[in-house]
Structures are given as C-alpha cells and as structure tokens.
Structure 1
Amino acid sequence: MKRCLRIRVVMGRDRISELPEELLLKILSFLPTKTVISTSVLSKPWRSLWKLVPKLEFDSQDRRTAENVGRSLLLHKAPVLESLHLTGLCDDIDVGLWAGIAFARNVREFLLQVWIPFSMPVTFPSSLFFCDTLETLKLKNPPIEIDVPSPVSMKSLRTLHLEYVTYKDDESICNLLSGCPNLEDLLVHRGYPNNVMNFVIVVPSLKRLSIKDFTGGRNGGYVINAPSLKYFQIERLSGYELCPIEDAPELVEANIRNVSNIVNEKILGSLKSAKRLSLDLSPLEIKCPAGAIFYQLVCLEMYTHKAKWWNLLTIMLDSSPKLQVLKLIDQNQDSSKDGVVGGKWKEPKRVPECLLSHLETFVWTRYDWRREEEKVVAKYILRNARRLNKATFSTRPIESKKKLEMLNEMNGVVKASYSCHLVFE
C-alpha cells in the first residue's frame, strides 16, 4: 500500500501546515523521499520544507535519475543529515559526488549500494574517512574499492559493513580499522577479486563480528584481536589460516558454518568463553585442543550432514559440563547425505557431566530414524540425560506406518528422566 501525505482542510484552513516545523519534519522522515520531495508543490510554505528532512533514501534507475539525485542532494540544507541511503545505477563520478555531499552535511548513517555498468571498481574517496560525525557506514557490492594509504579518523563510527567491496592491499584494512576506536559492529563479506593476504582485525571495542568469505584463499589468513567481542560469526571460510581469537572473555554467541580446509585447527579453542554455539564443522578437519573446556556453554546447535559428525558431538558433550540445550540439525532437504560416510559411533567411556546434571532440552530437526548412527545417538541421550524435560524429534514426511514404528521404538527407550516429555513433529 502506497503511503501518502494527506492535508485536511477545515473551513478553508490548512491545519497540518500549522503544526510546528520540527513535528512536520519528523512526519516527513517516515515517508519515501520521492513523496517528501513531491510535497514542495502543495503550497509556498512547503516549497523548501523537504530540504530540511533529516532522513533521505534515493534509488537511481538510470542516468537521468542519478542526475536528479545529485541535484536533490545539492539543494538539501539540513544542518545534520541523520541518514542517507543511496542505491541503484550510477556512473563512477556519482559515487564521489554523492558521498562528498553527504559527509559535508555531517551525515550520521550512510549506505551506498550501487551498480556501475561496464566499469572497474571505483575507489571510495579516502578523504571521506576523516569524518567524526559518522556513526554507521555500509558499503555494498563490487564496484567499490577501499584504498586507505594512511591511518584515518572516524571517532564516532560504531557500525561498519563492507559487503563484497574490494581492497587495495593489506594496509588499507589496517589503516581503516585503526582509525575507528569506538567500532562495535563489523560485517565483512568478501568475494573476487582478492588483493588481501592477511586480513587483520585489531579492534579493542568490537562487540559483533561477522565474516563471510567466498575467495577460497590460499597462503593467507585472518588475525582477530577483539577482547570485547560478544557475537561472532564465520561462514564459508575455506583454505585460510585462522589464528585463534585472542582472549574474548565476554563472548556470548558464536556461529561457525561451512568452514573447510582450514590450516589452523584451533577454532574451537578460541570459543571456550561462549554461552551459545552453532557449529557446522567436520570433525575430520577441525579438532578441539586437548583440555579445552566450555565452562559457560549452555546452548549447543550442531549440524549433522558432515562425515562422522557424531565424533564432534562426543567432544562437545564431554567438554561442556553446564550444557542445558542441545539442538541437532540436518540441513539436507532430502534423505540422502552427500559426503557422510558410514561408521559406528562409539559411546563415551563415561557419561558426560552435562547429561547427568544439566541438559533439559533436546531437539533434533530432520531426524532420520532409518540411519543406525542417528538412532544410537538419540537413544543414548534419552537413556542418560537425567534432567531432560523435553525431547523433540521432527522428521521428513514419512508414511504413517513407518512413523508409527518410529514412535513405538522411541517410546520404548528406558529414559533416565521420568519427567521427560517426547514430542514428534
């Protein structure tokens, strides 16, 4: 439904225009920028009101639209621009012009997501990295290149998203991040081309870090030093050296997915302070350092589509004495499990402490009761989890007869917890 600005005229009076300008600007800031600009034709008092609206969003569809965006930005007069979002098609010259105007207006949130036809990557003006009013910077898509030859200054920047931009060299990353002393949220998505060998992230204030890498790096790596880190996510990291995250005592949640061929096998040891973990790892490639204990871990989510995944489960159960919630997920949509080799799960020599005294919730999504190793794992947990309150099994669609067979088999397991409630979905 399209939103529009309605003006109510009562007894020949324009009542809305009598509202305080501050309130009018706040109302206009919730409307699409195209609609806001169109209000300039309503009456003389409205002719310039749009120029003071603190939030703007432009979507450029062609060359003519891009020129209109530039003209609109030049006419804008707000002393502080709270947010500016620029998306769509443009020429390389527009990037510098738009960003320059925004930063001159003391912009606090700047998003640039553009496509430049038939162009090499456009260098984001390094002079704009000296802006102490900017709090959020989001650069998206391949046409943008980061070239920062020397340290910068962005003292107010707290959120930085770099999605599939390119980088001139390793130093550009170091110089950019070193100039953001209050950065809290960093998102890095990388693709081709790749000019960075060592991606160094040294940010003492950083609380949230998300990395997604499609470059398939070789002879390079990530170095992460973020002692205030609370939320950490890595996805599709392949072939890199990942140095262990230096001490992160405040880590709350970590999500490690689609990681393979990692040179350094100490990923898990870097996450020992986490309270919640989501792991999509192969135990054939990733090992847990001897003696690593997840003393604070209360919720573990594991994916079961990798070869001998149950060996990693054994390690995690034995290393997580306070675990309360265990979730197993098979992300495959069909019944086949590509790459999963046969084998037999070996029960732990002693029952893990978490099963004896803490585990309360067990969830298995896309549980395949026909696979022997899955039945063995499920029955083991039911037989040994003394404080288990609820165990939920959801399966792929199966015929009623086979589902009844599964229900009878699971209900027949002697459970360690008399209060355990079995749920089948």
Structure 2
Amino acid sequence: MEASVSAETSKRHENEDRISHLPDHILHYILSFLPTKFAVGTSILSTRWRFLWTSVHNLDFCDMLLFSKATTKKDYLKRKRPFINFVDRVLFLQGKNVSNVHKFSLTCQDCDAVHFNKWVSNAIKRKVQELILSITKEHPSVFPHCLFTCESLSTLKIKMTVYVAVPSSICFSLLKVLHLTYIKFFSDQSSVQEVSLNLPILEELAFYNCAWLKIKTVNIVVPTLQVLKIECWSINGSHDCEIKIDAESLISLKLEVCTSYKYSLLHLSSLVDSSIKLPSCHRIHNDTTIDRLGSLLGAIYNVRNLELNVESIESISSPVFSARMHSLSRLVHLTVLRGSCSTGKKFINMLCDMLYIETLVLPDGLCSYDFSGDGRILGTTPRCFLSHLKLVDIKDFRGINSELWFVKFLVKSVKEVDKLRIRLTRPRSETRVNWKEQIIEKLDKYVKSSNCVLELI
C-alpha cells in the first residue's frame, strides 16, 4: 500500500509544472536568452505566462524566424508588413513595463527608413546597452543622429550598407565593443574633414569594408583597446584619408587591407599577435604604397606571433623592407597561409630577414609556392639563416617535387632545427599504392644526416 502511494506521489511530481512556480525575475532571466518571437510565444502557455515577456529587458527581432524565406518580391512584401506590425506592437506593450533595454537586436532583409529610425530611437531613449543591427539590403536613409549622443552603450554592432553623417567629435564613454560593417562615413559639416573618436574604455574594435567619404583624417584614441580588426578589400572613399589609431594596450591586431588608406598605428608596445593579409592584386608600385606598407610594418615592431598570407610575402620580400623585417626582434612564431602562387625565391628571401623566429607553421602546405628555377644552391644561405628555428610544422603535404625540394633545402640550410612535423595528404590524382611509403622514404633520407626529428602525421 505504501509503495503504491509513493509511486503515485512520484508520478504526480513528474507531471508537475515546476518552472511556472519559479519567481518572476528568474523567468524573465530565462526568457531573455530567447529570440523575441519565442519569448512572446510563451504567452499562450497559461495565464501565468501571458504577460511575462513584456518585462524582459532583451529584445531580439529576426524576420527569418517569423516568416519563411521570401522567394519572390511579392512574397517578401507579404511578410514585410506583418513583421513591422509585430515589432511595433512588442515595443508598445513592452515599453509600458520596461523603462530600459539591456539588448536590442534587429536582423532583417529590409525595412523602410521611417520604421528603422523609430525602432533604433526607441532603444536609445530606453538607454540600450547592447545594440546589434544587421540589415541585408542597402539602406537609403541616413542613420539616426541620436546614436552619437547615446551614453549608455557598452556594445555596438552594425552590419548594413548605410550612410552615416558623423560629427567632428564623438565620445562613447561606456562602449567596450564596436563592430562596424559596410558603413559609409561622411562629415555632417562640409567644411570639416577631420573626425575624432574618443573611446576611453573600448576593448574590441572592428571595421569591415567601411568607407570614409571626403574625410582626410580619422583620429581614434583608445587607451584600453586590446583587439583591433580592420578588413577593407575594396577601394572606397578618399584615397588620401589617414586613419590614426592610438592604442597603447593593444594585444591582437588583424589587418586585411589594401593600401587605399594610410593606417597610422601608434604606441603598440603591448602587441603580441598580428595578422597581415594583402589582396592578390597588391603590388609595390609607387612611393605612396611603399610608405603606407612600411608604416604598417614599423607599427608591429613588438609582435611575437605573426600571420601572413602569400600575397603579403610578395610585397614585404622586397629589399626596401628588409630593414623593417630585421627590426622584428621579438618575433618568434611565424604562420604563412595559402594564397595565389608565389615564387619560392621571395619566400626564402623573406625568411632570411626573419632572424629570431623559433616556429614556422604552414597550415595550408606549400602548394602556393613555386620553387622551380630558384637557382639557389643548398647551403648558400647566410650563416644566421633561421638560426633560432626549432620547429617547422607543414600541413597538407602532398609530396610534389617543389615541396620535397623545400624540405631538403630547409634541412641542409638550417643547422639547429629540432623537429620537422609533416601532415601527409594524398592528392586526389595520386594512384600509386605505395605513395605514402615512397614519400616517407625520401623525407627520411633528407633528415638522416641532421639532428632533426621527423614527425609524420
């Protein structure tokens, strides 16, 4: 009898709705992690849940969650109005209970300027802390000016093609993260060609394909900045624009740029990691380009870990930058990524300038290099050639002649290398059954006369 009662009690507890009995502040916390569509959807569960979502401080709107993907313009127009109505109604009802917003996220294909500006202004008036905007279609309007007077923002991420009229001076006193993508900046005063951004506690800054229109100088003062990412492949805006970034606490720098702008990076004494990628069309062809690229190399003098793509090697292997590369006295780890085909001679010439590296990593293998006709005799490199090198890590090694030549050259030219780590990858066109054994035999032969340890993966 007691066992039966216990089983019945246990079954009743299993079916009990324990979540609904939690305090409101805990349920609000749970709902804050959901997209707003799903948070609003909980209102149908019971009267207990009906209005809980109206007190959530996080708003996350995405038109793809509300409606299926539009395949035609007619389909898109059908879903646009219901999405606008949904956002308007949520902001109206939620605004009655919540005076401030922790996070406002808007992701949609398109929205008209009137509603977009109204929604963003609503979030700013309610002292939004994290503002994330991602609009796929090019936005014809000018971004709402009240953004630059918002003192509550800690995170700002905007991804949309839009023109932004910036005042001559901007200060986000609480901003810690700033990501801007496809933004076209221009001065809100035709006579002003200099813009200053004061970001006293910013920690992470990213510009992705942004343009500076009719602006000659951009001053960005960020004493606490730790991570900086700039990607700008297309040539937009004023070619004579100079972007000055003063970042004495910078640890990580990632640049994927052409030299249409001049980047002046100041006081990078704390820099540890740097990645520099130049486009395949980039060439050293005039004094302006040489000056701008030289300025970048001079700014990373303290870097310990450097990542380059093959196209970058095409440029910095030029003799004009040899002294710049020699000055990288703290550089110990070098990673070279895949790119378009490069001459092996330029790659080796660049390595001759890397006096202090201890690790050389080629994560994409050696297929991007052509060592044929190099003309370099084994063992004729400078005496200091890679004299500190301890580890060479080559992945995606296919065993072609140019790869084997480089391994043989490296082992013969570098006396102190401790380990050669190679990850073998069979080419799709390779049909030999004993391909792996033949490659291993050749590699063993190369390292046999040295103290290098061969590690095959």
Q: Using structure 2 for the length normalisation, give the TM-score.
A: 0.77
CA, structure 1 residues 265+133, in 2 after alignment: closer, same or farther (shift >3 Å)?
A: closer
- Residue of structure 2 in register with 1:275 after alignment: 304
Superposed, which structure 2 residues align to 1:182-221 within 5 Å? 182-190=201-209, 196=215, 198-216=217-235, 218-221=239-242
Q: Secondary structure at the match of 1:24?
A: helix
Q: Quote the offset at 1:317 in angstroms.
A: 5.2
Give secondary structure in 1 for the equivalent of 2:407. helix
Provide the C-alpha distance between the structure 1 equivalents of 2:14 and 2:269, rounded to a whole number of angstroms. Answer: 66
| Residue in structure 2 matched with residue 181 of structure 1 by the alignment | 200
Structure showing greater radius of gyration is 2
Q: How high is the sequence identity, in percent, across the aligned residues?
A: 27
CA RMSD of aligned residues (A): 3.4
CA separation in 2, counterparts of 1:188 and 1:91? 25
Question: Equivalent residue for 1:420?
Answer: 453
| Residues 303/43 of structure 1: CA separation in 2 closer, same or farther (3 Å cut) | closer
The answer (yes or no) to whether the contact 1:74–1:101 under 8 Å persists in 2 is no
- The alignment partner of 1:412 has SS state of helix
SS in structure 1 of the partner of residue 446 of structure 2: coil
Instruction: Assess, with a 3 A threshold, how the Cα gap between structure 1 residues 206 and 393 changes in structure 2: closer, same or farther.
Output: same
Structure 1 residue runs without a partner (length 5+): 1-7
- How far the C-alpha of 1:222 sits from its partner, in A, is 3.8
**1:344-423 pair list within 5 angstroms:** 344-345=375-376, 347-352=380-385, 354-355=386-387, 358-367=388-397, 369-372=399-402, 374-383=403-412, 384-395=414-425, 397=427, 398-400=430-432, 401-414=434-447, 418=451, 420-423=453-456
Alignment of 1:303-318 (within 5 A): 303=337, 305-316=340-351, 318=353
Q: Is 1:254 paired with 2:274? A: yes
- Does the residue aligned with 2:85 lie in a helix, a strand or coil? helix
The letter of the residue matching 2:315 is: E
2:70 maps to which residue? none
SS of residue paired to 1:56: strand
The letter for the 1-side match of 2:101 is L
CA offset at residue 160 of structure 1?
A: 0.7
Q: For residues 269 and 308 of structure 1, what CA distance do their matches in structure 2 show?
A: 25
**Structure-1 separation of matches of 2:260 and 2:450:** 44
SS of 1:147 mapped into structure 2: strand
Matches within 5 A, 1:7-406: 15-60=18-63, 62-76=80-94, 77-88=97-108, 89-116=110-137, 120=140, 122-142=141-161, 144-169=162-187, 175=195, 177-178=197-198, 180-190=199-209, 196=215, 198-216=217-235, 218-235=239-256, 237-259=257-279, 260-261=282-283, 263=289, 264-266=292-294, 267-280=296-309, 281-286=311-316, 287=318, 288-290=321-323, 292-303=326-337, 305-316=340-351, 318-321=353-356, 323-330=357-364, 343-345=374-376, 347-352=380-385, 354-355=386-387, 358-367=388-397, 369-372=399-402, 374-383=403-412, 384-395=414-425, 397=427, 398-400=430-432, 401-406=434-439
Q: Is the 8 A contact 1:194 1:215 kept in 2?
A: no
Compared CA separation, residues 111 and 241, structure 1 to 2 (3 A): closer
Higher helix proportion:
2
Measure the CA separation in 2 of the matches of 1:191 and 1:175: 15
What are the superposed Cα offsets for residues 267-312 of structure 1, whole Å, 9 maximum, x if unpaired? 3332221121101144443243516332322211013645335434
1:317-364 deviation digits (Å, cap 9, x = unpaired): 54342x3321125579xx687x99853346422143x54xx4332112
CA distance in structure 2 between the partners assigned to 1:379 and 1:340 by the alignment: 12
TM-score (structure 1 length as normaliser): 0.82
Q: Is the 8 A contact 2:185 2:211 kept in 1?
A: no
* Deviation at residue 226 of structure 1 after TM alignment: 2.0
